[in-house]
Amino acid sequence: MASMPEKDQQILQSHAGLIHRVVIGCQNLSLVPDLEEILDTATANGWTGLVRAIREILKGRRDTALLRPLDEEDQVIVTAILRGLQDPATLPDLNTKPDPGLAAPALAAMVHAVRRGDAQALQVLAAMAETMLRSGGDMARLSGIMHPLISGEHDAEKLTKGMTAQGEALVLALLEELAKLEAH
Protein backbone atom coordinates (compact mmCIF):
# COMPACT_ATOMS: atom_id res chain seq x y z
CA MET A 1 0.00 0.00 0.00
CA ALA A 2 2.99 2.32 0.45
CA SER A 3 3.33 2.90 -3.30
CA MET A 4 -0.23 4.30 -3.55
CA PRO A 5 -0.96 8.03 -3.51
CA GLU A 6 -1.59 9.34 0.01
CA LYS A 7 -5.19 10.15 -0.87
CA ASP A 8 -5.87 6.52 -1.85
CA GLN A 9 -4.14 5.27 1.30
CA GLN A 10 -6.34 7.57 3.38
CA ILE A 11 -9.47 6.27 1.62
CA LEU A 12 -8.43 2.67 2.25
CA GLN A 13 -7.68 3.28 5.91
CA SER A 14 -10.96 5.16 6.38
CA HIS A 15 -12.92 2.26 4.90
CA ALA A 16 -10.73 -0.65 6.03
CA GLY A 17 -13.48 -2.14 8.18
CA LEU A 18 -15.98 -2.17 5.31
CA ILE A 19 -13.43 -3.58 2.87
CA HIS A 20 -12.57 -6.43 5.25
CA ARG A 21 -16.25 -7.15 5.99
CA VAL A 22 -17.09 -7.44 2.31
CA VAL A 23 -14.15 -9.77 1.62
CA ILE A 24 -15.14 -11.93 4.61
CA GLY A 25 -18.80 -11.79 3.51
CA CYS A 26 -17.87 -13.09 0.07
CA GLN A 27 -16.36 -16.14 1.74
CA ASN A 28 -19.05 -16.64 4.39
CA LEU A 29 -21.82 -14.07 4.80
CA SER A 30 -22.82 -15.47 8.20
CA LEU A 31 -19.50 -14.23 9.63
CA VAL A 32 -20.53 -10.58 9.09
CA PRO A 33 -24.10 -10.30 10.38
CA ASP A 34 -23.87 -6.48 10.48
CA LEU A 35 -22.95 -6.15 6.79
CA GLU A 36 -26.52 -5.73 5.55
CA GLU A 37 -27.17 -3.01 8.14
CA ILE A 38 -23.95 -1.23 7.13
CA LEU A 39 -24.93 -1.37 3.46
CA ASP A 40 -28.44 -0.07 4.23
CA THR A 41 -26.96 2.83 6.20
CA ALA A 42 -24.51 3.59 3.39
CA THR A 43 -27.40 3.62 0.88
CA ALA A 44 -29.39 5.97 3.11
CA ASN A 45 -26.35 8.27 3.24
CA GLY A 46 -26.13 8.47 -0.54
CA TRP A 47 -23.47 5.84 -1.28
CA THR A 48 -25.78 4.05 -3.71
CA GLY A 49 -23.20 3.36 -6.43
CA LEU A 50 -20.73 1.86 -3.97
CA VAL A 51 -23.41 -0.29 -2.34
CA ARG A 52 -24.65 -1.47 -5.75
CA ALA A 53 -21.11 -2.56 -6.67
CA ILE A 54 -20.60 -4.28 -3.29
CA ARG A 55 -23.87 -6.18 -3.66
CA GLU A 56 -22.72 -7.37 -7.11
CA ILE A 57 -19.42 -8.52 -5.61
CA LEU A 58 -21.30 -10.38 -2.85
CA LYS A 59 -23.28 -12.14 -5.60
CA GLY A 60 -20.00 -13.34 -7.15
CA ARG A 61 -19.21 -10.71 -9.76
CA ARG A 62 -15.49 -9.93 -9.99
CA ASP A 63 -14.94 -7.92 -13.20
CA THR A 64 -13.53 -4.41 -13.28
CA ALA A 65 -16.55 -3.15 -15.24
CA LEU A 66 -18.01 -2.61 -11.76
CA LEU A 67 -15.72 0.43 -11.50
CA ARG A 68 -17.06 2.35 -14.51
CA PRO A 69 -20.04 4.13 -12.93
CA LEU A 70 -18.24 4.88 -9.65
CA ASP A 71 -16.55 8.07 -8.47
CA GLU A 72 -12.85 8.03 -7.60
CA GLU A 73 -13.26 7.21 -3.90
CA ASP A 74 -15.70 4.37 -4.57
CA GLN A 75 -13.34 2.98 -7.23
CA VAL A 76 -10.51 2.84 -4.70
CA ILE A 77 -12.74 0.93 -2.25
CA VAL A 78 -14.10 -1.54 -4.82
CA THR A 79 -10.62 -2.13 -6.27
CA ALA A 80 -9.34 -2.91 -2.77
CA ILE A 81 -12.18 -5.39 -2.25
CA LEU A 82 -11.53 -7.13 -5.57
CA ARG A 83 -7.78 -7.20 -4.90
CA GLY A 84 -8.38 -8.48 -1.35
CA LEU A 85 -10.49 -11.35 -2.68
CA GLN A 86 -7.57 -12.43 -4.87
CA ASP A 87 -4.86 -11.81 -2.26
CA PRO A 88 -5.88 -11.11 1.36
CA ALA A 89 -2.37 -9.80 2.05
CA THR A 90 -3.32 -6.65 0.08
CA LEU A 91 -6.14 -5.70 2.47
CA PRO A 92 -5.63 -2.46 4.42
CA ASP A 93 -4.37 -2.84 7.98
CA LEU A 94 -7.28 -2.59 10.42
CA ASN A 95 -4.97 -1.27 13.15
CA THR A 96 -3.65 1.72 11.19
CA LYS A 97 -5.57 4.89 11.86
CA PRO A 98 -6.15 7.43 9.06
CA ASP A 99 -3.88 10.49 9.20
CA PRO A 100 -6.13 13.33 10.34
CA GLY A 101 -3.83 15.84 8.64
CA LEU A 102 -4.82 14.41 5.28
CA ALA A 103 -8.47 14.96 6.16
CA ALA A 104 -8.23 18.76 6.43
CA PRO A 105 -8.10 19.55 2.68
CA ALA A 106 -10.99 17.19 1.91
CA LEU A 107 -13.13 18.51 4.77
CA ALA A 108 -12.34 22.09 3.83
CA ALA A 109 -13.37 21.43 0.24
CA MET A 110 -16.66 19.95 1.43
CA VAL A 111 -17.41 22.85 3.80
CA HIS A 112 -16.51 25.32 1.06
CA ALA A 113 -18.81 23.57 -1.42
CA VAL A 114 -21.67 23.62 1.09
CA ARG A 115 -21.10 27.33 1.72
CA ARG A 116 -21.50 27.85 -2.05
CA GLY A 117 -24.84 26.01 -2.07
CA ASP A 118 -23.82 22.51 -3.20
CA ALA A 119 -26.68 20.30 -1.94
CA GLN A 120 -24.84 17.04 -2.69
CA ALA A 121 -21.84 18.21 -0.68
CA LEU A 122 -24.21 19.00 2.19
CA GLN A 123 -25.56 15.44 2.12
CA VAL A 124 -22.08 13.94 2.09
CA LEU A 125 -20.88 16.24 4.87
CA ALA A 126 -23.94 15.38 6.97
CA ALA A 127 -23.22 11.66 6.55
CA MET A 128 -19.57 12.24 7.47
CA ALA A 129 -20.60 14.24 10.55
CA GLU A 130 -22.88 11.41 11.64
CA THR A 131 -20.01 8.92 11.34
CA MET A 132 -17.65 11.26 13.20
CA LEU A 133 -20.20 11.68 15.99
CA ARG A 134 -20.36 7.91 16.51
CA SER A 135 -16.55 7.77 16.67
CA GLY A 136 -16.47 9.85 19.85
CA GLY A 137 -13.62 12.01 21.13
CA ASP A 138 -12.22 14.69 18.86
CA MET A 139 -14.16 13.30 15.89
CA ALA A 140 -17.44 13.82 17.77
CA ARG A 141 -16.38 17.36 18.64
CA LEU A 142 -15.44 17.94 14.99
CA SER A 143 -18.90 16.74 14.02
CA GLY A 144 -20.34 19.32 16.40
CA ILE A 145 -18.53 22.22 14.76
CA MET A 146 -19.62 21.47 11.18
CA HIS A 147 -22.63 23.79 11.36
CA PRO A 148 -20.61 26.73 12.77
CA LEU A 149 -17.94 26.13 10.10
CA ILE A 150 -20.55 26.13 7.34
CA SER A 151 -22.03 29.31 8.82
CA GLY A 152 -18.63 30.98 8.54
CA GLU A 153 -17.20 30.66 12.05
CA HIS A 154 -13.43 31.23 12.00
CA ASP A 155 -12.63 31.58 15.71
CA ALA A 156 -10.16 28.76 16.35
CA GLU A 157 -10.50 29.06 20.11
CA LYS A 158 -14.27 28.50 19.94
CA LEU A 159 -13.98 25.71 17.39
CA THR A 160 -11.29 23.74 19.24
CA LYS A 161 -12.76 24.01 22.73
CA GLY A 162 -12.43 20.67 24.53
CA MET A 163 -10.25 19.02 21.86
CA THR A 164 -6.93 17.29 22.30
CA ALA A 165 -3.80 18.71 20.68
CA GLN A 166 -4.34 16.39 17.69
CA GLY A 167 -7.96 17.57 17.29
CA GLU A 168 -6.87 21.19 17.54
CA ALA A 169 -4.23 20.62 14.86
CA LEU A 170 -6.86 19.17 12.54
CA VAL A 171 -9.23 22.12 13.06
CA LEU A 172 -6.41 24.63 12.54
CA ALA A 173 -5.39 22.85 9.33
CA LEU A 174 -9.04 22.84 8.25
CA LEU A 175 -9.34 26.59 8.89
CA GLU A 176 -6.11 27.19 6.96
CA GLU A 177 -7.42 25.19 3.99
CA LEU A 178 -10.74 27.05 4.11
CA ALA A 179 -8.91 30.37 4.06
CA LYS A 180 -7.02 29.27 0.93
CA LEU A 181 -10.26 28.24 -0.78
CA GLU A 182 -11.99 31.49 0.14
CA ALA A 183 -9.09 33.50 -1.26
CA HIS A 184 -9.81 32.18 -4.76
Task: Return the amino acid letter for 118.
Answer: D
> What's the DSSP call for residue 111?
H
What is the predicted pLDDT for the residue at 60? 95
What is the Cα–Cα distance from 116 to 25, expressed in whole angstroms? 40
d(CA 22, CA 18): 6
Interatomic CA distance for residues 126 and 184, integer angstroms: 25
pTM of the model: 0.58
182 vs 21, 144, 168, CA distance in Å? 39, 22, 21
**Per-residue confidence of the chain (184 residues) as pLDDT tens digits?**
445 667 788 788 778 888 999 999 999 988 888 888 888 888 877 789 999 999 999 999 999 999 999 988 899 999 999 999 999 999 988 776 656 566 778 788 889 989 999 887 888 788 778 777 777 788 888 889 999 999 999 999 999 998 888 889 889 999 998 999 888 7
